[in-house]
Amino acid sequence: MASAAGGETKDTLARGLPRTLPSRPAKRRFCYRCLAAILVIIAGFAVGRREARAPVTPDTPAAVPFRKAAEAANIVLIVIDAARADHLGCYGYPRPTTPTIDRLAAHSATFTNHYCQIPMTAASTVSLFTSQFPDTHGIFYQAPPDWQPPFTLAGALSRAGFRTALFSSNPSASPAVGIGREFGEAYHRTKPVDEGGSFSPKSLLIQFDTWLEANRHSRFFAYLHFLPPHTPYDQPDHLTRLFDSPPPGYTATPTLRSPTGSTFTTPTSATPTGR
C-alpha cells in the first residue's frame, strides 16, 4: 500500500511500474553521492563480535570527516529481517553470504555491541522507532488506533524538516499493524506474510527508487525493511548452493543421538556455530 499522512491509501505495487533497477556502476555512484549515512540494523539476534578496535569518540580524528559528511546527509535506515550477524562476512562468517554488505562495511563504521530488544518483528520495530524497551512501549503485535508514543525517530526528523517515508516488505513492521503511522509516506501491503503479504527485495527497491527520483533534492529519512532471510525461505539457487558443504574450518564430531532418537553432529572449531 502507499499511504500519505492525511491522504488517500492505494495499492501502488499493483501498478506494475515499467521500471528496471539502475546498473551497478550507477547504483555505486548513487550510493556515494546521495546516501552519506547508511545504517544497517540486524533484527532478531544479537550482533556478533569481531576483532577489537580502538573506540571512536567525538574527539577521535577519524570521527571529524564523518561528522562533517553527516551534517547535510540524508538518512537511509535498512533492516534485514531476522538476519544473523554471525552469518555475515563482515562479522567473521566464512561463507561468502554477504559480499555487498562486506564491501560497504569495509568503508563504514560498524558496531560489535548492537542488540535486538526482542525477537518479535512488531515489538522490535517499535523499540527501534521509539528507543524504548518492549515492556515500556507495550506493543507486541499491533498498536491500538489511539497509540501515541511520546517520541519516534520519524516524528522527530519530520519536525526537523526531513521528508519521511517507510518501505516495508513485512506487514508486521508497517502501518498495517499501526506501526510507522508517523511517517509522511508509507509503502507496504496489508495481508500477513503467510497470506502473500510480502514482496521481493527487487520490488521494494523499485518502489524506493521511484520515490527517490521525486525526492532526491529534499532532505529525507527513508526506512527500508527487507523480509529475507525471514520466512518464507525462497532464496535463489546460488545462495542455496553455498550450503552444500561444510564451511571452511569446520570439523564435525562423531554423530550424537538425542533423547527423541534423532541424530546430529556438532562442529568443533573456533568459527561461528550453525550452518
Query: pLDDT per residue over 76-94, tens digit each?
Result: 999 999 998 888 999 999 9
Least-confidence region, from 104-118, 186-200, 244-258? 244-258
Handedness of CA 195, 222, 43, 27 (dihedral sign): positive
Return the higher-pLDDT residue of 94 and 272: 94
Alpha carbon 155 to its chain centroid, in Å, reads 19
- Residues 75-104: b if buried by 16+ CB within 10 A, e if exposed: bbbbbbbbbbbbbbbbbbbebebbeebeee
Return the higher-pLDDT residue of 231 and 155: 155
Burial (Cβ within 10 Å: 0-12, 13-18, ≥19) of residue 246 = middle
pTM, two decimal places: 0.70
Give percent of the chain with pLDDT exceeding 90: 43
Give percent of the chain with pLDDT exceeding 70: 67
Q: What is the pLDDT of residue 245?
A: 86
* pLDDT average, residue stretch 123-141: 95
**What domains are there in the chain, each with its CATH number?**
2-244 (3.40.720)
Query: pLDDT per residue over 1-26, tens digit each?
Result: 544 443 333 344 433 344 445 555 55
| CA gap 160, 156 in Å, rounded | 6
Look-up: residue for cell 521500471? 19
* pLDDT average, residue stretch 244-273: 59
